[in-house]
């Protein structure tokens, strides 16, 4: 299994360092400066939001990020709760399904996963066709029982 905690933490460090060195940056420049993919960027934002180290300002359809006490707790923390509940109910899933079940856009799902990764509540593995699958750490007995019950039917 891939260590999502290390990966998301390293990416959060790249964003923190870029903002520390350059001050407030628009999302596009921040992604370019850190050389992160869109998914990596959003998961790192979730990580930093959980640590209360990043703020976001939206002006004229441009998102700018800076270091400081977060203003993202309500949004990303709330989404993280919905993602956690989905993984608790349905068990292991990919971002596409999590997005569908929660009705949260994929970028926001990645931010929520970054939040949950910072809390050490999730883990990831590759499923069929190298698809990245997320699940709650230490398994999930509720979802596991549902899956076993479905196999018996």
- Residue 143's pLDDT is 47
Confirm if 18 and 33 have CB atoms less than 8 A apart.
yes
- Residue 81's pLDDT is 97
Digits of tens for pLDDT over the chain (153 positions)?
Answer: 557 778 899 999 999 999 999 999 999 999 999 999 999 999 999 999 999 999 999 988 889 999 999 999 999 999 999 999 999 999 999 999 999 999 999 999 999 999 999 999 999 887 777 788 999 998 555 544 454 444 444
Where do the domains of the chain lie?
79-105+121-152
For CA atoms 39, 42, 46, 52, the dihedral sign is positive
- Residue 142's pLDDT is 52
């Amino acid at each position: 299994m891939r260590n999502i905690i290390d990966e998301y933490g390293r990416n959060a460090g790249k964003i923190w360092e870029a903002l520390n060195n350059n001050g407030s940056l628009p999302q596009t420049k921040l992604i370019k400066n850190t050389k992160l993919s869109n998914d990596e960027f959003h998961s790192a934002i979730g990580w930093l939001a959980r640590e209360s180290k990043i703020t976001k300002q939206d002006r004229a359809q441009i998102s700018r990020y800076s270091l400081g006490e977060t203003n993202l707790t309500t949004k990303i923390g709330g989404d993280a709760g919905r993602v956690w509940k989905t993984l608790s109910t349905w068990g292991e899933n990919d971002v596409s399904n999590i997005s569908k079940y929660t009705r949260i856009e994929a970028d926001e799902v990645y931010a929520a996963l970054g939040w949950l990764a910072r809390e050490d509540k999730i883990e990831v593995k590759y499923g069929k066709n190298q698809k990245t699958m997320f699940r709650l750490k230490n398994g999930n007995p509720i979802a596991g029982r549902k899956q076993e019950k479905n196999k018996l039917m």
